[in-house]
A and B are shown apart, each in its own frame.
Chain A
Amino acid sequence: MMREKLKNLNEFQTLQTKCANALKAETRKVLICCGTGCVAGGNMELYEELKKQMQELGVNYELALGEKEGNNLVGLKKSGCHGFCEMGPLVRIEPEGWLYTKCKASDAREIVEKTVIGGEFIERLGYHFNNELYKKQDDIPFYKTQTRRVLEHCGHVDAESIEEYIALGGYTALTKALFEMTGEQIIQEVSDSGLRGRGGAGFPTGKKWAQVAAHTEEPIKYIVCNGDEGDPGAFMDRSCMEGDPHKMLEGMIIAGIATGSTEGYIYVRAEYPLAVSRLMIAIEQAEAYGFLGDDILGSGKSFHLHINKGAGAFVCGEGSAMTASIEGNRGMPRTKPPRSVDKGLFERPTCLNNVETFVNVPDIIKKGAAWFRSLGTEGSSGTKAFALTGNVMNTGLIEVPMGTTMREVVYQIGGGIKGGKKFKAVQIGGPSGGCLTDEHLDLPMDFDSLKKVGAIIGSGGLVVMDEDSCMVNMAQFFMNFICEESCGKCTPCREGTTRMNEILTRITKGEGKMEDIAELKSLATMIQKSSLCGLGKTAPNPVLSTLQNFEDEYVEHIRDKRCRCGTCKDLAKLYITDKCIGCTKCARNCPVGAITGTVKQKHEIDTTRCIKCGACMTGCPVDAIKEG
C-alpha cells in the first residue's frame, strides 16, 4: 500500500475501511512468531521456507497487508511474541486459531500442504499436555486463564505493518483525542480509569499528566517512554515494543496532546536490538501517514518522536538517571525535588511513563474509563503483564487482571513446578522486590496487597523457585547485581550494598558468623532510609524478605555450614551412595584423583582433595554420586 500523509479525519476513515477490507480478503493467516525467543529457535528459517513452499505449491499469498488485490488470500506474517516461549518456535493459524508448537523449518512443506491448502490440523505439531491435545490457542491452559489487553495484538498481527494495526481499530483513539476531546478531558479519562504506572512505583498516571499539563508557561515539554527494562527476569516491555509497537506510539502521541508536549523520547536498552528496529520501522510508518510530525491529520497539533539507545546501565531505569542519560551524561539520579514533572529532561517539565503504561492508554480513550475499571481491584485497575520464568513448566509472557492470586499464576498458567518438585518461593519485582512463599500463594497480586508483605509488583518479573533453590544464594545474587549496577553517587548504596554483598558471600562460603544476620538487617535499614534514589532504597529488599521468610536457611549456612539445596558449592560435599556398582568411571574422570576404590566395590571420595567440579556426577552411569 502506498503511504501518503493523511490530511484530515475523513482520509483516515477511508484508509481504515481500506485496511479492514484488505484484512478481510486474507481468509487464512499464518503467523510466525518473530519474538526474540522464537527467532533464536529458528523461526526466521521457517518463515523463509514457508514462503518458498507457498511459491512452489502455487498458494496465493501476500507478505504485507494490501499487497495484492482480490480475495481468498493467505497472509504470511511475522508477528510479535505469542508469550508461550517455552514451547517455541510457535506458529498460529487463522481463522481457526490453531497453535503449532516447536516448529522447525523442515515442517514447512507439511504445514503448507496439509494446513494451508487442505485446511487440516497437524496433530504432531499441536500442543499436548497430560495426554490431551489442544488444537486452539485459546483452549490451552496457559492462555485460558489469561486476559490479554496490553498484549491483545501480540502474536496476532504483523508487527511491522501499520495497516494491520489500523485495520484492527488502531489510531482511532488518537483521532478521538484529536477531534473530540480537550487535553483536560483526556487527562480526566485517564485519571478516572485509575491507571497506575506500570514501571514499578504505581504512581497514578492521570495525576502525573495533569502535573505536566499544568506547566502552561513552558513552551517545550517532553514525553519520555521508559523502555529500559533492566530488571533481570523481566521482558514484558520488550515484547510490547517488538510485538505491537504502534499501540505504544499511539499512547505516547495521546500523552503528548493531553499534556501539550510536542517532543517525545523512547529510551530502549541496547540489549534489545529487535525492539529498536521494530520501533524505528513503526515510527517511519507513522510519520508517512502523518500520525507523527507537524499538523497531525490536519488538527494543527504536532508531535515528534526520537529513539535513544541505552548503553547498559541498570540505574538508567530510574527517572532522573534516564533523563541524564538522554542528555548524554552519566546516568546518575539526582536529588528530588524538583521532580521530573517540573524539571526533567533538558530542565523542562517531563512526563515519564513506562512502556506498558502507554500501551494501556489507547484503549482507555477508545473504550472509556469504566471499561478499564471493569477488571482488576479497587486500588489497582486493569491488567498487568508478567514475565513468568524460572522453575515452572510453562515459562513465558502472561497477562492477568490485577488481583489474580499467585496460585492461579503458578499452577494454572504456569502449569506447576518443573519436574514435579515442590514450590518454594516466587521472586517478584526483580532486585527491588521480594520473595513470596507458599503462605502468600492466595494473596491477590496488586500494588497495595503486595506492599503489605514487603514485596512489590515492580515491572512484573516473576521468577519461580523450586525446593532446590537456595535462598541465601539468591539474596547474594541480587546483592551482587546491585553492587555492580550501583551508580556510585551516594554512599549508602555504593558502600552499603558492597558490605552486604561481602557478608552474604562470606555466608555462602561457610565463613559466616551469627552476628552477620543482625549486621545485614541494620545495614539494610540504613540503606533503605538514606539512599538517594528509589533503586537504592529498595536494594536491600531481596535480603530482607529472604531473611524474613527463610531465616532458618541463613542459620544453617552459618552454624551448620550446610546448604540444603547444594547450590552453594563451597558448602557442598560430594559423596557416593550405596548405588555404586564400582565401574571405576568416576575415579578415572576425577581431575584431582580424589576418588579411590577397587573394581566392583563401592568407591569413596576424599573430601579434602575434592574440588567439587562435578565431573564424577555427570559421568556416573547409575547416578550414585550425590551432593549435600
Chain B
Amino acid sequence: MQDVQEQYRYLPVKALTYIAEKVGMSESKLYGVATFYGNFSLNAKGKYVMKVCRGTACHVRKSANVLAALYEATDTSERKPTSEDGLFSIEIVSCLGACGLSPVVMVNDTVHAAMTPDKAKELVAQLREEA
C-alpha cells in the first residue's frame, strides 16, 4: 500500500480492491488499515505535499503562524487541504524529528528549517514557478 501511495500520491479505490484481492484480505479490513494511518490518503494529493510540523518544539517556536501563512498563500484550509490547481496539499504532522531547526516544513522529502510566515510565502511562490 505504501508503494501504491507513493506512485499515485494517494490510494485510489480501485487499487484498494485490487490489493485486497491479491493479498487475500477482505476489502473492509484493508479499508480499516488504510483509514487508520495518517500517511494514507483516499483523496488525491497535490504535487507538493507540505507537511507542517506541529510538534512541541515547533509549537513553542510558533509554527501556527507558518501554517496560517501557507493556507493563505495556497488558498487552502484545514477542511480543504489540497489547492484547486492540484499543486499543493497542506498537512499537519505531529513531529518531523527536526526539532533543533523548528519550526520546520517538509515539502515532499525535503526539510525546510527555521520557517517564518514570510519564508513560507516565498517557498510557495518558488515552487509554483518550478511546477
Q: Using CB atoms and an 8 Å cutoff, list the residues of chain A in contact with chain B.
A: 36-37, 39-41, 85-86, 88, 229-235, 238, 269-273, 309-314, 328-332, 387, 389-391, 395-397, 427, 430, 461, 463, 465, 469, 477-478, 481, 484-485, 487
B100 x A86 contact (CB < 8 A) = yes
Are A36 and B37 also in contact (CB < 8 A) when A233-B56, A270-B2, A273-B109 are?
no
Give Cα A16 to B56, complex, Å.
43
Binding site for A on B (CB under 8 A): 2, 25, 29, 32-33, 36-40, 51, 54-61, 93-102, 104, 106, 109-113
Partner of A395, one of B25, B38, B93, B100: B100
Give Cα distance in the complex from A236 to B39, angstroms: 22
Contact A389 B37 (CB under 8 A): no
Tell me if B113 and A37 are in contact (CB < 8 A).
yes
Contact B100 A270 (CB under 8 A): no
Q: Is the CB of A232 within 8 A of B100?
A: no
* B95 and A311 form a contact (CB under 8 A): no
A40–B104 CB distance below 8 A:
yes
A397 to chain B: closest residue by CB: B100
Expressed in whole angstroms, the minimum distance between the Cβ of B113 and any Cβ of chain A is 4
| Nearest-Cβ distance from residue A434 to partner chain B, whole angstroms | 13
Interchain nearest-CB distance for A404 vs B (Å): 19
Closest B residue to A314 using CB positions: B94
* Chain A residues near B39 (CB-CB < 8 A): 270, 310-312
Q: Which residues of B contact A328 (CB under 8 A)?
A: 25, 33
Residues of B contacting A269 in the complex (Cβ-Cβ under 8 angstroms): 97
**Is the beta-carbon distance between B100 and A230 smaller than 8 angstroms?**
no
Contact B60 A272 (CB under 8 A): no
B93 touching A85 by the CB < 8 A rule? no
A36 pairs with B111, CB closer than 8 A: yes
B55 to chain A, nearest CB (A): 3
Out of B38, B110, B113, name the residue touching A313 (CB < 8 Å). B38
- Compute how far the CA of A40 lies from the CA of B109 in the bound complex, rounded to whole angstroms: 10
CA distance A485 to B51 in the complex (A): 17
Of all chain B residues, which has the CB nearest A469?
B60
- Closest B-chain residue to A328, C-beta based? B33
Please, which residue of chain A has its CB at the minimum distance from the CB of B98? Answer: A36
Look across to chain B and name the residue whose beta carbon is closest to the beta carbon of A87: B100
Q: How many A-B residue pairs have CB under 8 A?
A: 126
Q: Across the two chains, which residue of chain B brings its CB closest to A86? A: B100
Give the contacting residue for B60; candidates A37, A41, A235, A463; CB below 8 A: A463
Q: Knowing that A85-B101, A330-B32 are A-B contacts, what are 5 other residue pairs whose CB atoms are under 8 Å apart, sorted by A's residue number?
A: A88-B100, A232-B56, A270-B39, A312-B39, A329-B33
Contact in complex: A41, B2 (CB < 8 Å): no
Chain A residues with Cβ below 8 Å from B25 are 328
Question: What chain B residues lie within 8 Å of A396 (beta carbons)?
Answer: 100
Is A331's CB under 8 angstroms from B37's CB?
A: yes
Beyond A36-B98, A40-B98, is A312–B93 a contact (Cβ under 8 Å)? yes
CA distance A387 to B102 in the complex (A): 13
In the complex, chain A residues whose CB is within 8 Å of the CB of B2: 270, 309, 311
A232 with B104, Cβ < 8 A, contacts A40-B112, A270-B39 known: no
23 contacting pairs across A/B (C-beta < 8 A): A36-B111, A37-B113, A40-B112, A40-B113, A41-B101, A229-B97, A232-B54, A232-B55, A232-B56, A233-B99, A235-B97, A269-B97, A271-B93, A271-B96, A309-B2, A311-B40, A328-B33, A332-B36, A395-B99, A395-B100, A396-B100, A461-B99, A477-B56
Contacts of A235 in B (CB 8 A): 97-100
Inter-chain contact A238/B57, CB cutoff 8 Å: no
Q: How far is the CA of A72 from the CA of B100 in the complex (A)?
A: 36
- Please report the C-alpha to C-alpha distance between residue A309 and residue B40 in the assembled complex, in whole angstroms: 12
How far is it, in angstroms, between the C-alpha of A577 and the C-alpha of B57 when the chains are bound? 31
In the bound complex, do residue B111 and residue A390 qualify as a contact, i.e. CB atoms below 8 Å apart?
no
Known: A232-B55, A391-B60. A272 touches B97 (CB 8 A): yes
Chain A residues contacting B33 (CB-CB under 8 Å) are 328-330
Structural contact, B56 and A36, CB atoms closer than 8 A = no
Residues of B within 8 A of A487 (CB): 36
Tell whether A463 pairs with B56 under 8 Å between CB atoms, given A233-B99, A272-B97: yes
Do B56 and A389 touch (CB < 8 A)? yes
